[in-house]
Structure 1
Amino acid sequence: MKHLTGVVKDYAWGSPTAIPQILGTAANGSPQAEYWLGAHPLAPSRADGLALDALIADRPELLGAECRERFGGRLPFLMKILAAERQLSLQAHPSRAQAEAGFAEEDAAGIPRDHPMRTYRDNWPKPELLCALGPFEALYGFRAPGESFALFEQLDLVEVTTMVAPLHRPEDAAEAIRSVCVSFLHLPHGGLVDAVVAVAGTYVDAAGPLGLFARTAVQLAEQCPGDPGILVALLMNRTTLQRFEALYVPAGLLHAYLHGTGIEVMATSDNVVRGGLTAKHVDVDALASVVDFRPHEPLLVRHEEVAPGLWHYDTPAPEFGVWRTDGLTGPVELPATGRARIVLAVEGSLRIDTDQGPVDLPQGGAILFAAHERATIDGTGTAFIAAPGV
């Protein structure tokens, strides 16, 4: 058992207050976008003062036999607190096969791994789960093409209506969405994008899907004026998660988090293929090769109570599993014995009993448990637990 201290990432889209409130630290006025807990080599947590990646390299048995067999001597997941004051980029993540091929290709081309034009920074996939701690806004996958066509058509702009014409009764929905997205992303900044936003501004008070469509355009333009990614975002589902609801993001699913605070658990990877709403590199060809352009309804991750006050989030990712404590009425066994686990308290305080004795876990505290360690957890607080999914 090791007490963990994570790493704060100060990306510009972050909230200046949400993460300090959870950690019980003083806000400094700067954005604090993410708090990383894991062994990612770019920002490893400190485990009782030691870098976690170095500790695992020295003691790989901490991971558990099955995890080591599947992933080598690597902790396969990263847990984060994510606090978005404004939108993140439109993005998708590759499958394992795509990541391995793309990484090898860019290495062979001699592109430095830290170069801003590089897309694949490692050879891992990056499935992820986002669990909201309060209302959380996101763009997630594409809506049905006919619905998007009808919304754009109501703007009564001939040029954009012509561009989205493939969405009207397509034989192949995915190919129609792909062709429109690629066309949008090849547009110059401003121009048609500004025209769409200007007309959308006259519909922001409309009821139903048209009003949400218009408000999305205007809100994104406030942060990313003229960005062609705004038009791609208008092809997507906009959804609001409520407290403890979660989305799973598989390989190829285009998404963007817009606003809110949540717990994110993902495979330990940096592979992000961006599609706009960012000043960073956008590789349209790479995006088109990775994204699943089929329409997707936002489906919440099923979570069930597996013991009194212990909830499990069901995902297919082998790299991670996720649990939440909420409303414990007595001690329950810490799940995933046989695998390394990270426990993070996000509200209130909890008590963990181990073979070495009891440990108090205050809000903002985190602990790493080795695969062989058994423990029970109790208390009125809320904690998230992550472990390898295998």
Structure 2
Amino acid sequence: MDRLQNTIRPYAWGSTTALPELLGTEPTGEPQAELWMGAHPGAPSRLDRGAGAVSLAELIDADPAGELGERSVAAFGPRLPFLLKLLAAGSPLSLQVHPNLDQAAAGFAEEEANAVPLDAPHRNYRDTNHKPELICALTPFDGLCGFRPAADSADLLDGLGVDQLKPYADLLRARPESDALREVFSAVLTADPEAMAETVEQAATAAARRAAEDPEGRFAADYAAYVGIARHYPGDPGVIAAMLLNYVRLAPGEALYLGAGVPHAYLDGLGVEIMANSDNVLRCGLTPKHVDVAELLRIVRFESGGPGVLRPEPTADGAEVYPTPIDEFQLSRYLLADGAEARALPDDRAQILLCTGGRVVVRAADGAELDLTPGRSLFVRAGEHVQLLGDGALFRAAVAG
């Protein structure tokens, strides 16, 4: 088992305080958005087995089966198929969606055939993989996830009393739901920029008024969230597109799973995020970056429903598992107490262990122990038998099964 040296990504939307508070370090005054744990080429973790720090990606390349386990290599190839993160949002991330495997492969091949450079700002597909992801809240965590029922979105828009929004509300009521969501979503993102900027301003003003007038009202929390989004992205059509989505506040320990085609955005809070190893993101708004509306309309699933808040399910071995329908990753949580029996972890696959509270002791088969404190993590290669003790909270990331 190896302590990981991880990189913090300073994206502009990151919190200046959340990660330092968890890690027990001094804030730098700059955004600290994500701490990456894994072998992603963008910022692979490093570890030291006695000959100096080396990249986890390099170690896996040198011995994929030995590091990851034969079953993982057979299923996903000679690479770690997931990336684990601590994500600290201080302002809204872009409204976005991810393709499924077939869409990613086809989109990547088409852009390669058209000689679109991998680093081109208008490129949609950076690789051939899908990017399902799970976010688990460590603090109260605000987000947007999937389309709410069209009739509910119509009621929300009508509640603002903004004339420019009335045609959207009427359409949401008049057409079959999937068609209505597609048409309104497309109309918002392709509207005249100046006219839409004025609509966004009026909608944000109205949302602030409605939230203040009726703080216990049906959409009060939603309106307050949209006011915050508009403050960060004034005039952005994504503000109106966001009004079609479910607003959700996760309590610590609750999670969201984001599958292919589901539009979503993280707004505020600290969480543990795990995802398949991919950079394929199509943006819908709340960003100065490229928005390919035609491709979005091909990828987005225009289906309504609730946000699908997940709560961990207890297992016989003392873990709490967040159920997801994919095999690239499984996220488990262990809540440990002093004096409790040591909990053994499966040893047939690679795993990353992340402490998020208290103090966790990881004991190897030879009796060696390593302490983990909040924000610190370990890589455990396949075949290593370890046990957990201590008094704290720990997340385990591994392939499913």
TM-score by length of 1: 0.96
Counterpart position of 2:207: 200
Counterpart position of 2:59: 55
Q: Using the TM superposition, give the Cα deviation of residue 220 of structure 1 relative to its aligned residue in structure 2, in angstroms.
A: 1.1
Among 254, 265, 272, the residue aligned to 1:263: 272
Counterpart position of 1:179: 183
Q: What pairs with 1:86-101 in structure 2 (closer than 5 Å)?
A: 86-101=91-106
Q: What pairs with 1:1-390 in structure 2 (closer than 5 Å)?
A: 1-48=1-48, 49-61=53-65, 62-171=67-176, 173-187=177-191, 188-189=193-194, 190-205=197-212, 206=214, 207-307=216-316, 309-328=318-337, 329-335=340-346, 337-363=347-373, 364-390=375-401
Take 2:93 and 2:250, find their aligned partners in 1: how far apart are those partners? 16
How many residue pairs are counted as aligned between the two chains? Answer: 388
Q: Residues 137 and 251 of structure 2 are in contact (CA less than 8 Å); yes or no, is this contact kept in structure 1? A: yes
Q: Residues 216 and 234 of structure 1 are in contact (CA less than 8 Å); yes or no, is this contact kept in structure 2? A: no
The runs of 5 or more residues in structure 2 that have no matched partner are none
Take 2:81 and 2:327, find their aligned partners in 1: how far apart are those partners? 9
User: Structure 1 311/213 Cα, relative in aligned 2: closer, same or farther at 3 Å?
Assistant: closer
The runs of 5 or more residues in structure 1 that have no matched partner are none
Q: Residues 309 and 327 of structure 1 are in contact (CA less than 8 Å); yes or no, is this contact kept in structure 2? A: no
TM-score by length of 2: 0.93
Q: Which secondary structure does the structure 1 equivalent of 2:19 belong to? A: helix
Q: Using the TM superposition, give the Cα deviation of residue 199 of structure 1 relative to its aligned residue in structure 2, in angstroms.
A: 2.5
Q: Using the TM superposition, give the Cα deviation of residue 217 of structure 1 relative to its aligned residue in structure 2, in angstroms.
A: 2.7
Q: Using the TM superposition, give the Cα deviation of residue 359 of structure 1 relative to its aligned residue in structure 2, in angstroms.
A: 1.7
Q: Using the TM superposition, give the Cα deviation of residue 64 of structure 1 relative to its aligned residue in structure 2, in angstroms.
A: 0.7
Q: Residues 38 and 79 of structure 1 are in contact (CA less than 8 Å); yes or no, is this contact kept in structure 2? A: yes
Q: Using the TM superposition, give the Cα deviation of residue 308 of structure 1 relative to its aligned residue in structure 2, in angstroms.
A: 6.3
Take 1:314 and 1:333, find their aligned partners in 2: how far apart are those partners? 20
Q: Which secondary structure does the structure 2 equivalent of 1:275 belong to? A: strand
**Aligned residue identity for 2:377:** A
Take 1:217 and 1:332, find their aligned partners in 2: how far apart are those partners? 44
Q: Which secondary structure does the structure 1 equivalent of 2:219 belong to? A: helix
Instruction: Indicate the larger mover: 3-12 or 202-211.
Output: 202-211
Q: Residues 351 and 358 of structure 1 are in contact (CA less than 8 Å); yes or no, is this contact kept in structure 2? A: no
Q: Using the TM superposition, give the Cα deviation of residue 307 of structure 1 relative to its aligned residue in structure 2, in angstroms.
A: 4.2
Instruction: Indicate the larger mover: 106-115 or 18-27.
Output: 18-27
The superposition leaves residues 110-165 of structure 1 with CA deviations (integer Å, 9 ceiling, x where unpaired) of 11111111111111100011110011111111111011112212333333211332
The superposition leaves residues 298-323 of structure 1 with CA deviations (integer Å, 9 ceiling, x where unpaired) of 11224222246521111112110111
Take 2:253 and 2:207, find their aligned partners in 1: how far apart are those partners? 32
Instruction: Indicate the larger mover: 117-126 or 192-201.
Output: 192-201
Q: Which secondary structure does the structure 1 equivalent of 2:285 belong to? A: coil
Q: Residues 13 and 88 of structure 1 are in contact (CA less than 8 Å); yes or no, is this contact kept in structure 2? A: yes
Q: Which secondary structure does the structure 1 equivalent of 2:306 belong to? A: coil
Q: Residues 253 and 311 of structure 2 are in contact (CA less than 8 Å); yes or no, is this contact kept in structure 1? A: no
Q: Using the TM superposition, give the Cα deviation of residue 107 of structure 1 relative to its aligned residue in structure 2, in angstroms.
A: 1.2
Q: Residues 282 and 296 of structure 2 are in contact (CA less than 8 Å); yes or no, is this contact kept in structure 1? A: yes
**Aligned residue identity for 1:197:** A
User: Structure 1 210/347 Cα, relative in aligned 2: closer, same or farther at 3 Å?
Assistant: closer
Q: Which secondary structure does the structure 1 equivalent of 2:116 belong to? A: coil
Take 2:159 and 2:38, find their aligned partners in 1: how far apart are those partners? 47
The superposition leaves residues 53-73 of structure 1 with CA deviations (integer Å, 9 ceiling, x where unpaired) of 111000112111111011110
**Aligned residue identity for 1:366:** S
Q: Residues 336 and 389 of structure 2 are in contact (CA less than 8 Å); yes or no, is this contact kept in structure 1? A: no
Q: Which secondary structure does the structure 2 equivalent of 1:274 belong to? A: strand
Q: Which secondary structure does the structure 2 equivalent of 1:385 belong to? A: strand
